Amino acid sequence: ATSLWSFVAGYLLYGLTAFVFAPLFSYVTAARGKLTTGRAMTLTSAMYNLGAVLGPVSGGWIGDRFGLQTNFQAAAVVLFISTVMILFLKAQDRDEHDEDSRRKSLFANPRFISFVGLLFVGTFVMYLPQPLTPNFLQNERGIGLGELGWIGSAGSMGNAVFNLMLGQLNARSGYLIGQVLVGIFALILWKGAGIPLYLMGYFLLGGFRAARNLGYAQIRTLIHPAQMGLAYGFTETFGSSALMLSPILAGFLYDWSPVSIYPVTLALLLVAMTLYFIFSPREETHLEPGNLGEALIKD
């Protein structure tokens, strides 16, 4: 990029690649074999976040020796190789719509719609303390940029570790534990002091990424298999909306009192966890085409 506007345009195009999330989730679900949906999603996310741990280190080394522009060139090469590898993946069998699924629209499925609402609330609350925490640590706690880099790396490591750990559990239980971990993060930032505690807090924040994946994993139990791609896309849209709206509230709270973000997060988390515990689906059995109509009538 030769100017700020060309950089912004390129960054926008990069953001538009988020449309691949829905087909990627669908592929992982279809290709999971004997793995549970939750375990398959958290395993792939753990590998992604392991790369996120190595990426900043590699980027810093390349930037120091060859300049920042070389970082983008190297990233383009890696993305090209990754895309070529994905193109050689084996295609999975497609689920065809039967009469039950044709008669019952995805958006007329109350269990699915209400669960997406629960995930929206959970994502909104869990993300609330995150956007401005680097500012809080730097401006209110006197943490330097170099130390912030190490703290951020601890967060990426936590993403990988907790995706692997919570992925071994029932998706519903793993989601709740992920929310608890985010609550501990907020408590540490509110009451804690010192680099070791902040490192631990950011490591525990890895529960957020794992919880999001385990939330998506439960969608499979609420829909017809042929509706999987649309369901993941719809849910990701709502999840992204929560990520967009949550920083607005965080900004208001930070202007009022920087530390207030964390107790407010804890209070809202209690509400979100209670709603999730009461209303989220308890059985991880997906709806097969033959019994879709019966299950929808029963619920």
Q: How many CB atoms lie within 10 A of CB 257?
A: 10
What's residue 286's pLDDT? 44
Q: How many CB atoms lie within 10 A of CB 227?
A: 23
Per residue in 91-110, pLDDT (tens digit) is: 666 555 555 555 467 778 88
Which one-letter DSSP state was computed for residue 130? S
Q: How confident is the model at residue 289 (pLDDT cuts 50, 70, 90)?
A: very low
Query: Do residues 38 and 214 make contact, with C-beta atoms less than 8 angstroms apart?
Result: yes
What's residue 238's pLDDT? 85
pLDDT at 128 over 60: yes
Comparing 23-37, 122-136, 280-294, the range with the smallest average pLDDT is: 280-294
Q: How confident is the model at residue 198 (pLDDT cuts 50, 70, 90)?
A: very high
**Relative orientation angle of helices 21-30 and 37-66, to the nearest 10 degrees:** 130
Q: How confident is the model at residue 216 (pLDDT cuts 50, 70, 90)?
A: confident
The matching CATH number, chosen from 1.20.1250.20, 3.90.190.20, 3.90.1150.10, 1.10.3720.10, for 4-53+110-280 is 1.20.1250.20
Can you give the residue ranges of every domain in the chain?
4-53+110-280
**pTM, two decimal places:** 0.75
Q: How far apart are CA 183 and CA 266, in angstroms?
A: 6
